[in-house]
Chains A and B, each alone.
Chain A
């Protein structure tokens, strides 16, 4: 839906602009934070409801659904991560469901929430022109979100490496693999550092790239007039796969990275 005298370029740019408050580094993307926190709270609230009532008796339908997800995550963790850890399974669950919900925002027709926000903001008197309101509703199309997730995982990778191998073990791994020779320590260190840093970078960029591209295609489809309806439907159906898959990949890789960090080579 292109309103008024917007050109397609303006339309796309408008859609890809975050609602930002502040300047420079200390600016905050309010829409990203708002939607992600809302979805995270929704996830925790709905799961907490089950957790409070959970018993070994006959489960209700919602409880069944939640338990299905929990068991799926639990199995994934048990398959990849050997050993006991209280953090990894809930971490994986949070990553999976939260990312899934954030990705799911992509399926809401691209104009609905931004338009609602535009006129809502205008009527409430926050802005003089509705076009000054920016609203990006898919938090995972914001690099801040994906890097927040992946850098947290990165921190955990380092914490787990040190916890399970000790500082010495970790340092040794960084300097004596893959070539076990003292003269090649700098080479090893460069290689290992790249390997280590590639993990959070690839995690964040993969998720961001997939969702950003998907969102962009939704925006392009929204510009083609009447035929956007079947096209939107077709792309949405396909996108369900991407949404689920990206959430799953992020979860799975987190588990794998942490299991690698916590076991000797």
Chain B
């Protein structure tokens, strides 16, 4: 337990150890630690930034979606309106067409009627004349009374 030359030896050992530690051990380790700390800090920052970006993007997406929905609704509304209009127009046109056709039919029918009536009239005249002839054959001369018969026919 005496103080002796061991003291000197231990001092030298200590100095050498400290020197070695200062030169070869401490700097690389502390550098690595600090570098890693910086890396982690950067990573955390980046993560935070990404989170913010994501939130912003999500907000944007929500906005755009809303807008798109609104536009879609507008488009649907417009097309509905237009469809209704087209239906109305078509209905209108159909009505007009029908009326036209009906009118044409009427006219045709009227023309036909007139024609038939004319023919009937002629036939009735012929019948009347032939009837009258038959009557008159018994009583009067055909030639002498033809003017009267004509007048009759015209009156039919």
Contacts and interface: CB of A to CB of B under 8 A. Distances in A.
Contact of B10 (A20, A67, A144): A144
A172 interface: no
A54 B26 contact: no
Contact of B14 (A56, A70, A89, A149): A149
B10 A149 contact: yes
Contacts, number: 132
Contacts of A91: 18, 21-22
Contacts of B1: 16, 18, 142-143
B44 interface: no
B14 A148 contact: yes
B13 A142 contact: no
Q: How large is the interface on B (under 10, 10 to 19, 20 to 34, 35 or more residues)?
A: 20 to 34
Contact of B3 (A33, A66, A147): A147
B25 interface: yes
Interface string B75-106: 00000000000000000000000000000000
A87 interface: yes
Contacts of B113: none
Interface string B27-57: 1111111011011000000000000000000
B1 to A, nearest CB: 6
A123 to B, nearest CB: 27
Contacts of A89: 26, 30
Contacts of A16: 1
Contact of A90 (B6, B11, B14, B26): B26
B25 A28 contact: no
Contact of A151 (B11, B25, B27, B31): B11
Interface size of A as a range: 35 or more
A148 B11 CA distance: 5
Contact of B32 (A28, A54, A93, A98): A54
A51 interface: yes
B10 A50 contact: no
Given A50-B29, A51-B25, A91-B22, A29 B6 contact: yes
Interface of B: 1-11, 13-15, 17-18, 20-22, 24-33, 35-36, 38-39
